[in-house]
Amino acid sequence: NAGVMQNPRHLVRRRGQEARLRCSPMKGHSHVYWYRQLPEEGLKFMVYLQKENIIDESGMPKERFSAEFPKEGPSILRIQQVVRGDSAAYFCASSPSQGGYGYTFGSGTRLTVV
Amino acid sequence: DAKTTQPPSMDCAEGRAANLPCNHSTISGNEYVYWYRQIHSQGPQYIIHGLKNNETNEMASLIITEDRKSSTLILPHATLRDTAVYYCIVRPYHAGNMLTFGGGTRLMVKP
């Protein structure tokens, strides 16, 4: 039973480019969450999605960031026109519909903007 | 979600028990206590959770006070690989709630 899969593990982008981070939840999990961890800081919630719906995006920056979780395929976190301040580790987590302790994190994508 | 307070750092000798405290004095009746840890550069890892009874699994034990205002995570025989940041989180059980991570406790297990 594969865990939460994130790819790529490391991503380097030049300022102004787009970054696409992918997250495949655990089998049977229909809830996906994205978190960001800036260097030497704690994890901050960004967005919570269910299939084809954004449930809570209160932690998402208003500009340049978007997320989706289509009916088929992985969840995507998209950052347009990246800036150096976007350099961080981005973690995805998933949980089953009936929820609780089954909240499982992936290994993260480390984005470096040069 | 209720706020939690943890010491920023602790040391523990290898092979000894590590006792990590957490205060959650504003916890409400439907909120569980969850513990996660983050080993350097990895994704957070679930450890254990409980409502009001003490809990034990293969990783750790969780002791919750009778008034539920504080709890202690116990790693019975700490190893060097237990060096990590440990997060105490209080939240309702059902899915749909994000986890709110505080500063956690940075546990350093020393040989």
Q: Is A11:A110 a contact under the CB 8 Å cutoff?
A: yes
pLDDT value at residue B65 = 96
pLDDT in tens, A20-56: 999 999 988 888 999 999 988 889 999 999 989 999 9
Q: What values do phi and psi take at A16, rounded to 5?
A: 95, -15
Residue A114, chain B, CB below 8 Å: the answer is no
CA distance A69 to A91: 15
Q: Is B102:A42 a contact under the CB 8 Å cutoff?
A: yes
Which residue in chain B is spatially nearest to A108 when comparing CA positions?
B43
Contact assignment for B95 to A43 by CB distance below 8 Å: no
What sections of chain A are H helices per DSSP? none
Contacts of B34 in chain A (CB under 8 A): 101
Higher pLDDT, A39 or B16: B16
Contact assignment for A106 to B43 by CB distance below 8 Å: yes
Shortest Cα–Cα distance, A18 to chain B (Å): 23
Shortest Cα–Cα distance, B42 to chain A (Å): 5
Residue A99 has pLDDT above 60, yes or no: no
Which residue in chain B is spatially nearest to A47 when comparing CA positions?
B98
Of A29-33, A88-92, B41-45, B89-93, give the range with the top mean pLDDT: A88-92
pLDDT in tens, B17-32: 999 999 999 998 888 9
Q: Is B75:B62 a contact under the CB 8 Å cutoff?
A: no
pLDDT value at residue B12 = 96
* Beta-bridge partner residues of B56: B61
Shortest Cα–Cα distance, B45 to chain A (Å): 7
pLDDT value at residue B94 = 66
CA distance B35 to B6: 12
Residue A100 has pLDDT above 80, yes or no: no
